[in-house]
């Protein structure tokens, strides 16, 4: 029985096998936490989706029981989620009205690198699955964000733009109206998370516009589609790995810079409304290793049930050369008057919140 977190160490499940749920997120449902994440295999090939989305269950957050594969990749070569595609950062939310568990993930179609930049949706009546894949798409086709400027609201034929982007910072991003380029076909959706607010409304936060700008998009009441209301945030900041929580009426955000599997300095931001304005607060990490987020990249913020003011920031420590060996780093968030801090701890337990 584990009684502590050991950030960065191997994390055995109740069978003694290192947990395989990368880029993950947690869902609390009826007294149990469920952890969903990317199932990776050995070697560099393990970064592709060859198995699916893995699920674990725990009541104490330290000891995790393997619930198997919640969403399987498909053997059908025609399927969007055929074996060998890329499925990243899966998140599951529960719709209290329909009773359905809804999974969203970043999908890249097989053999297309990271060009597809789509959102995938799968559903299940049971929290642990099996989840049924519904469809994949680019969000918000034919809709302008609520905070788009008149200059941005110009649809452009994508075929008229010859240059290619590689997803990382480029000085001349202003020369192409990416929002307009993707207006008809839908906006790009890569690194992502989901967030359900107190009023039951759900939101999809995703890196868009060639990763340069984050979009926050409200979902329909059944959580199965964007409702058609969204904003652009952190324009040209290349924010990846979005994670969000709400505390005392304010929204707190953790993200990263855009450097692939290599760690970089984390970012943080705060807002009084999910629709902004969002104020960047800089790197929340304190102490040695802060410039590389102690080796990690954010994936989720977990409010701990039954503890006051207790939020855990979850990170991945990627191991791209041997994907299955990727580690997890969960750290307690220390809130300040303006924002929050993250301090690396080699070992800690939930008593820290008492
Ligand atoms: C990272 C991203 C990961 C994955 C990786 C691929 O920047 O956060 O989810 O997409 O790039 O290189």
- Look at residue 173 in the predicted model and tell me its pLDDT: 80
292 SS3 class: helix
CATH fold for the domain made of 13-137: Tachylectin-2; Chain A (2.115.10)
pLDDT digit string, tens, across residues 314-329: 999 999 999 999 999 9
Q: Rounded to whole angstroms, how far apart are CA atoms 312 and 296?
A: 14
Ligand 1 center to 94 CA (angstroms): 26
pTM listed for this prediction: 0.98
Work out the average pLDDT over 140-145: 98
- Look at residue 64 in the predicted model and tell me its pLDDT: 99
Is the pLDDT at 55 greater than 90? The verdict is: yes
- Look at residue 168 in the predicted model and tell me its pLDDT: 79
Average pLDDT of the chain, as a whole number = 97
Indicate the pLDDT class of residue 161, thresholds 50, 70 and 90: confident
**Phi, psi angles (nearest 5°) of residue 218:** -75, 145
Of all protein residues, the one whose alpha carbon is nearest to atom 6 of ligand 1 is 260
Which among 40, 190, 206 is the best mutation to test ligand 1's pocket, defined by most ligand atoms within 8 Å of the CB? 190
Work out the average pLDDT over 42-63: 97
Give ligand 1 pocket residues (Cβ under 6 A).
23, 88-89, 191, 240-241, 258, 260-261, 297
Work out the average pLDDT over 224-246: 97
Is the pLDDT at 169 greater than 90? The verdict is: no
Percentage of the chain with pLDDT > 90? 95
Which among 85, 261, 300, 317 is the best mutation to test ligand 1's pocket, defined by most ligand atoms within 8 Å of the CB? 261
- Look at residue 171 in the predicted model and tell me its pLDDT: 78
Work out the average pLDDT over 11-26: 98
Q: Rounded to whole angstroms, how far apart are CA atoms 194 and 218?
A: 10
Indicate the pLDDT class of residue 162, thresholds 50, 70 and 90: confident
Is the pLDDT at 166 greater than 90? The verdict is: no
Is the pLDDT at 253 greater than 90? The verdict is: yes
Ligand 1 center to 240 CA (angstroms): 8
Indicate the pLDDT class of residue 13, thresholds 50, 70 and 90: very high
Work out the average pLDDT over 63-76: 98
- Look at residue 295 in the predicted model and tell me its pLDDT: 98
Q: How many helices (H) and strands (E) does the chain have?
A: 1, 22
Decide if 34 contacts 68 (C-beta within 8 A). no
Which among 44, 240, 257, 320 is the best mutation to test ligand 1's pocket, defined by most ligand atoms within 8 Å of the CB? 240
Q: Which residue has the tokens 């999910």?
A: 274
């Amino acid at each position: 029985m584990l009684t502590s977190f050991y950030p960065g160490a191997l994390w055995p499940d109740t069978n003694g096998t290192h947990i395989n749920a990368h880029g993950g997120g947690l869902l609390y449902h009826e007294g149990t936490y469920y952890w969903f994440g990317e199932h990776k295999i050995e070697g560099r090939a393990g970064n592709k989706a060859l198995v699916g989305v893995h699920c674990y269950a725990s009541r104490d957050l330290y000891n995790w029981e393997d619930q198997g594969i919640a969403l399987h990749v498909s053997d059908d070569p025609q399927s969007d989620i055929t074996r060998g595609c890329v499925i990243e950062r899966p998140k599951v939310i529960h719709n209290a009205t329909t009773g359905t568990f809804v999974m969203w993930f970043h999908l890249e179609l097989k053999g297309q690198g990271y060009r597809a930049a789509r959102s995938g949706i799968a559903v299940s009546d049971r929290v642990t699955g099996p989840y049924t894949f519904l469809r994949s798409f680019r969000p918000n086709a034919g809709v302008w964000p609520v905070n788009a400027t008149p200059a941005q609201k110009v649809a452009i034929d994508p075929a008229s733009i010859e240059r290619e982007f590689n997803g990382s910072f480029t000085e001349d991003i202003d020369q192409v109206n990416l929002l307009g380029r993707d207006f008809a076909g839908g906006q790009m959706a890569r690194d992502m998370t989901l967030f359900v607010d107190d009023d039951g409304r759900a939101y999809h936060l995703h890196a868009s516009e060639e990763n340069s700008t984050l979009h926050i998009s409200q979902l329909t009441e059944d959580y199965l589609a964007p409702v058609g209301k969204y904003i652009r945030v952190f324009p040209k900041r290349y924010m990846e790995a979005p994670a969000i929580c709400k505390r005392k009426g304010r929204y707190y955000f953790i993200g990263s810079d855009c450097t692939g599997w290599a760690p970089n300095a984390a970012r943080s931001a705060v807002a009084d409304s999910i629709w902004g304005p969002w104020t960047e607060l800089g790197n929340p990490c304190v102490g040695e290793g802060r410039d590389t987020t102690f080796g990690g990249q954010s994936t989720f913020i977990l409010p701990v049930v039954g503890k006051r003011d207790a939020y855990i920031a979850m990170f991945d420590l990627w191991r791209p050369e041997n994907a299955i060996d990727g580690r997890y780093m969960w750290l307690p968030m220390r809130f300040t008057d303006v924002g929050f801090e993250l301090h690396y701890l080699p070992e800690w337990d939930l008593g820290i919140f008492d």
